[in-house]
Amino acid sequence: MEEKKRTVTKVQSSRKAASEAAEEVKATGKKVEGMTKAEEKSKATTLRIVSAILWLVAIACEVLAILVVFRALRLPGLEKARIWWILGFIVVDFICCVIAGLLWKKASHLDPFSGKNKFLFFILSQLGAIMAAVCLLPLIIIVLTRKEDKLDKKTKTIVTVVACILLAIACLLGIDFHPLTAEQKADAAQQLSSFEKVYWTRYGHKYHLYEKCQAIRNSTDISYSEGEEIDGEYVPAVRVAMDNGCTGLCAFCARDAEKEGKDLKGIVLEDGTIAGADETANDLTVAPEE
Ligand SMILES: [Zn+2]
């Protein structure tokens, strides 16, 4: 079998002394930071506030674009360049939506929402996509239903096509294809101290116990983390992986670990199920995350 060149990157806490961290970077490549629970929560809150502000800006741009459509806004050169004003507002609207959606998703993985109420969880975890629709769809509907005296046909077509394309992109980027519930994260947090070291790939959504796992064998960009103590709180390796977008344990690794006799009971697997859940339901009492 041919050996491919790969980088294996250690991901560790931000609290290590800068010099020590710099040295580790030199030795192993780039790194991602781990956080305590309190840090995760406060970072998630910040990200959510920024998202909310960006969505407000996006809605403001949408309103401005609609006002231009209705000729209710006086802007320099508006009559000659109406289409450019409308497109300009739509593009800013779109950019704000995309950034807000991505930040919102990041926050949802740092500090996940409870999955107990499935409907609420769906709304909150997919808010990026929903807000993209709120920030662009009304404008599209208004442009499409306007009479020709408000917008000429060419302007109408261009604005509609551009807005629809941007809406599709913003929605896709806003969807969380791997939503994580607070319960899953708590489940994992309870059990994951047993894994001292885990690996994941940049765009992967599962973490691995073995660097040689067949799912990541051909990946060239591997990150890893090791459990460590930060301010008296133990930050398990898997939590760092989860902060970086992983939602469950790789099925191949789970199988190999079981062969080795490791106890995986309570671990969230890559398909969202919990290992050993059918065997002993009593052992799965989950401690709520503080
Ligand atoms: Zn694996």
Residue at 63 is within a domain? yes
123 by DSSP, 3-state: which?
Answer: helix
Residue with tokens 């765009």: 203
117 lies in the same domain as 149 = yes
For residue 190, how far is its CA from the centre of ligand 1 (angstroms)? Answer: 20
43 lies in the same domain as 166 = yes
For residue 11, how far is its CA from the centre of ligand 1 (angstroms)? Answer: 17
pLDDT digits (tens, 9 = 90+) for 242-286: 888 888 899 999 999 888 888 787 787 888 777 766 554 444 444
Where among 126, 149, 174 does a domain terminate?
A: 174
For residue 182, how far is its CA from the centre of ligand 1 (angstroms)? Answer: 23
pLDDT digits (tens, 9 = 90+) for 207-243: 999 988 999 888 888 888 887 887 777 788 888 888 8
Residue range of the domain that includes 210: 7-31+182-284
Looking at residue 271, its pLDDT comes to 80
46 lies in the same domain as 168 = yes
43 lies in the same domain as 95 = yes
Total Cβ atoms within 10 A of residue 214: 12
For residue 12, how far is its CA from the centre of ligand 1 (angstroms)? Answer: 20
Give the span between the Cα atoms of 259 and 31, in whole angstroms: 31
Residue at 2 is within a domain? no
Burial of 15 (0-12, 13-18, 19+ CB in 10 A): middle
Residue at 289 is within a domain? no
Where among 150, 174, 198 does a domain terminate?
A: 174
65 lies in the same domain as 142 = yes
24 lies in the same domain as 46 = no
Pairing of strands 228-230, 233-235: antiparallel
For residue 242, how far is its CA from the centre of ligand 1 (angstroms)? Answer: 15
What sign does the dihedral 117-118-120-121 (CA atoms) show?
A: positive
Please give the average per-residue pLDDT across 30-42, as a whole number. 72
For residue 95, how far is its CA from the centre of ligand 1 (angstroms)? Answer: 36
Residue at 262 is within a domain? yes
For residue 185, how far is its CA from the centre of ligand 1 (angstroms)? Answer: 19
For residue 84, how far is its CA from the centre of ligand 1 (angstroms)? Answer: 50
Average pLDDT along the chain: 82
Looking at residue 218, its pLDDT comes to 83
Structure tokens, 8? 């294996």
For residue 163, how far is its CA from the centre of ligand 1 (angstroms)? Answer: 41
Q: At residue 154, does pLDDT exceed 70?
A: yes
Detail the DSSP E strand segments found in 119-201.
197-201
141 lies in the same domain as 45 = yes
194 lies in the same domain as 102 = no
Looking at residue 166, its pLDDT comes to 97
21 lies in the same domain as 103 = no
116 lies in the same domain as 130 = yes
Residue at 198 is within a domain? yes
pLDDT digits (tens, 9 = 90+) for 97-153: 999 999 999 999 889 999 999 999 999 999 999 999 999 999 999 988 877 666 788
Where among 151, 174, 197 does a domain terminate?
A: 174
Residue at 1 is within a domain? no
- Confidence tier at 43 by pLDDT (50, 70, 90): very high
For residue 104, how far is its CA from the centre of ligand 1 (angstroms)? Answer: 28
Give the span between the Cα atoms of 268 and 276, in whole angstroms: 10
Give the span between the Cα atoms of 76 and 81, in whole angstroms: 9
Residue at 135 is within a domain? yes
For residue 118, how far is its CA from the centre of ligand 1 (angstroms)? Answer: 29
Q: How far is CA 23 from CA 17, 32, 271, 288, in A?
A: 10, 14, 37, 37
260 lies in the same domain as 240 = yes
Helix, strand, coil share of the chain (percent; to 5): 55, 10, 35
Give the span between the Cα atoms of 259 and 247, in whole angstroms: 22
Q: What's the total number of domains in the chain?
A: 2
19 lies in the same domain as 54 = no
Q: At residue 287, does pLDDT exceed 70?
A: no
Residue at 120 is within a domain? yes
Please give the average per-residue pLDDT across 3-31, as a whole number. 50
